[in-house]
């Protein structure tokens, strides 16, 4: 039915915009069903028609749509026809609340070559979501009123005793550690020094390759690990604060005092990793291997000239 309705609406909308001398821009949303139970998956189809002179931005689904979570997204398809473009997007959505829920109006942004912005919005859609439990079972799960907590008075000297015991235990642990260190020095035993950052980072890369995330298609896990290795090396090798910082915070530090050995490609690497990790952007083995080679080259080319890194035990995954 959509194949019949959409062309008709497109013709009407094109004619109306031609009369008004405005760029054509329109959006519509349809779903395969408006009723179901908690956790059911609904298919949301989003269609936008725009003048070919407009640049259309695909709406973000990272935070879902109102009460509905987005489970998956398909790549948008674009069709050109008589100076207009038809954008089609599909989402799989689900709700985890019961009752009458609304899929809110979805706004799509566009802009022309002069920077003028346009907005097209879909109509909201009402859903009826039922519980998966029978009505009698759901009623039995309601929380009954409970009695207030009875508070026992605690004498003040109990807190003094607890504080003394805590201090005593802490002192005993401190003295034990101090004794062990002193004994080790007397026996000529020295603690193993920590690996330099280029050695530690190379070991981390070897371990990451052993996990074979790329072969198994686990791209999010791969980029989580690889970006942490890159931030670890930048932090320890160049004293550039990157560990446990977001990419946004790192960009601020980068603008203030950029290490000589790090260029804009390091920021590009972190941004692409964030797209895969948090926006669930599609990735590939080739893309993963490319950034793996970048981090490996960064370590090799910036380590001290007299330092040695053993060659990697496992080669990068070959895309089949």
Tokens describing residue 151: 């508070």
Query: Which are the contacts of 314, defined by CB distance < 8 A and separation ≥ 6?
Result: 206, 209, 210
Which neighbouring-strand residues pair with 312?
Answer: none
Query: What predicted TM-score, i.e. pTM, was given to this entire model?
Result: 0.39
Q: How far apart are CA 247 and CA 268, in angstroms?
A: 10
Which homologous superfamily is 2-133 in? Answer: Immunoglobulins (2.60.40.10)
Q: What is the DSSP letter of 80?
A: E
The list of the chain residues with pLDDT below 50 reads 19-20, 183-191, 311-320
Burial class (CB in 10 A: 0-12, 13-18, 19+), 59: middle
pLDDT of residue 190: 45
pLDDT of residue 316: 46
pLDDT of residue 188: 38
pLDDT of residue 14: 58
Report yes or no: 86 and 45 within 8 Å, Cβ to Cβ. Answer: no
Q: How far apart are CA 238 and CA 246, in angstroms?
A: 18
Q: Any idea where the domains of the chain sit in the sequence?
A: 2-133, 162-191, 197-302
Q: Name the phi and psi angles at 239, rounded to 5.
A: 55, 35
Helices of type H across the chain: 2-20, 135-140, 156-186, 197-211, 219-238, 247-256, 264-278, 285-302
Query: Which are the contacts of 102, defined by CB distance < 8 A and separation ≥ 6?
Result: 66, 67, 124, 125, 126, 127
Task: Give me the helix-helix angle, 285-302 and 264-278, nearest 10°.
Answer: 140
pLDDT of residue 140: 56
């Amino acid at each position: 039915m959509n194949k019949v309705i959409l062309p008709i609406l497109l013709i009407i909308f094109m004619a109306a915009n031609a009369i008004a001398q405005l760029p054509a821009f329109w959006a519509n949303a349809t779903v395969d069903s408006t009723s179901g139970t908690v956790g059911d998956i609904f298919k949301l189809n989003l269609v936008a028609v725009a003048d070919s002179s407009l640049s259309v931005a695909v709406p973000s689904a990272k935070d879902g749509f109102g009460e509905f979570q987005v489970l998956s997204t398909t790549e948008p398809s674009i069709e050109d026809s008589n100076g207009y473009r038809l954008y089609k997007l599909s989402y799989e959505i689900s709700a985890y609340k019961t009752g009458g829920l609304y899929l809110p109006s979805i706004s799509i942004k566009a802009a022309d070559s002069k920077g003028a912005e346009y907005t097209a919005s879909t109509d909201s859609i009402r859903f009826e979501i039922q519980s998966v439990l029978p009505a009698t079972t759901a009623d039995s799960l309601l929380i009954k009123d409970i009695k207030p907590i009875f508070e026992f008075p605690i004498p003040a000297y109990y807190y003094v005793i607890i504080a003394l015991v805590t201090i005593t235990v802490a002192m005993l642990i401190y003295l034990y550690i101090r004794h062990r260190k002193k004994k080790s020095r007397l026996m000529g035993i020295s603690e193993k020094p920590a690996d330099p950052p280029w050695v530690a980072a190379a070991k981390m890369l070897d371990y990451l390759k052993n996990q074979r995330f790329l072969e198994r298609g686990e791209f999010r896990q791969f980029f989580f690990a690889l970006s942490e290795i890159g931030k670890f090396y930048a932090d320890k090798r160049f004293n550039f604060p990157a560990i446990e910082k977001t990419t946004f915070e790192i960009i601020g530090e980068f603008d203030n005092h950029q290490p000589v050995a790090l260029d804009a490609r390091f920021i590009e690497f972190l941004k692409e990793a964030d797209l895969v990790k948090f926006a669930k952007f599609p990735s590939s083995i080739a893309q993963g291997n490319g950034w793996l080679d970048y981090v490996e080259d960064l370590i090799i080319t910036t380590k001290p000239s007299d330092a040695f890194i053993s060659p990697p035990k496992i080669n990068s995954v070959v895309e089949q």
